[in-house]
Amino acid sequence: MEKDGSLLDEYVLSLTDSARPRVCFLPTASGDADHYVVRFYRRFSPGCEASHLSLFRRDQGTGGVEDDFATHLLAQDLIYVGGGNVVSMLGAWRAHGLDVILRKAWRKGVILCGPSAGSLCWFAEALSAFHGAPRTVQGLGLLPYSNCVHYDAEPARREEYHRFVGDGMRPGFAAEDGVALHFRATRLAAAVSSRPDGRAFRVKPSRHGVIERPLHVSYLGAAATAGSPAAHGTVPAACARKAVASESVGSEPVAA
């Protein structure tokens, strides 16, 4: 649901290997904001069996899930987590048991993805700067690393992430806006970008300070121009995007 295109969405949908995939949106991090839910349906309804799960309000409208969260989520091809406040989101998930359900979905092979908070949540640790100074957040731990998003859009995050990793935070991955990290189980399978110049990094401590190693990032626009389909797979995804906070995960998590 990027402002200027849909290359990352198309990439994640290609991983389902389904002509009309079942996609459920979790807008928890935004407090189930109406505008975010509307944007999701505009983007995904034409080609998907789209639905959303609200924890902060009771939705009687088309596609809203009122109860039996587990049955619904475990039947999806793709679970898309929106951006916003990752701390509030994780607290709400744990209160409603969604942390356990999402772990089951991941083990089952449901693709998990999302931008910003929707990326940070899948990792063991993450750097969050929502409403305040950067801080460490304990995520769901599906991916045994740390994660930092908006690496170029918010320059202070890079400095703080290096500081936290140097002080004992787990080694991990950082992504600029428009870049998605694609994991199969817990192994990084690819880094892809909706921008020609998008970058991602592996960040870890060393005896001489924190090391930032650039990752190979594939520009999705090049594949689209050549008519090549996106790679298929089972992946956790975490993504970082500009207009929409970004991140993701699953049997294939995708973090943006």
Q: Which residues are catalytic?
A: 116, 150
Contacts of 205 (CB under 8 A, 6+ apart): 165, 166, 171, 211
Residue 7: phi and psi, rounded to 5, are -60, -40
Please state whether beta strands 111-114 and 78-81 pair in parallel, antiparallel, or not at all (unpaired): parallel
Q: How far is CA 38 from CA 41, 62, 94, 96, in A?
A: 5, 11, 25, 24
Residue 161: phi and psi, rounded to 5, are -65, -45
Q: How far is CA 202 from CA 152, 210, 211, 226, 227, in A?
A: 15, 10, 8, 29, 30
Residue type, 153: A
The secondary structure of residue 152, as a DSSP letter, is T
Please state whether beta strands 200-206 and 209-214 pair in parallel, antiparallel, or not at all (unpaired): antiparallel
Query: Are the C-beta atoms of residues 46 and 19 closer than 8 Å to each other?
Result: no
3-class DSSP assignment, residue 153: coil
Contacts of 187 (CB under 8 A, 6+ apart): none
Residues 86 and 42: their CA atoms lie apart, in Å, by: 24
Residue 128 token pair: 């969050």
Residues 44 and 23: their CA atoms lie apart, in Å, by: 8
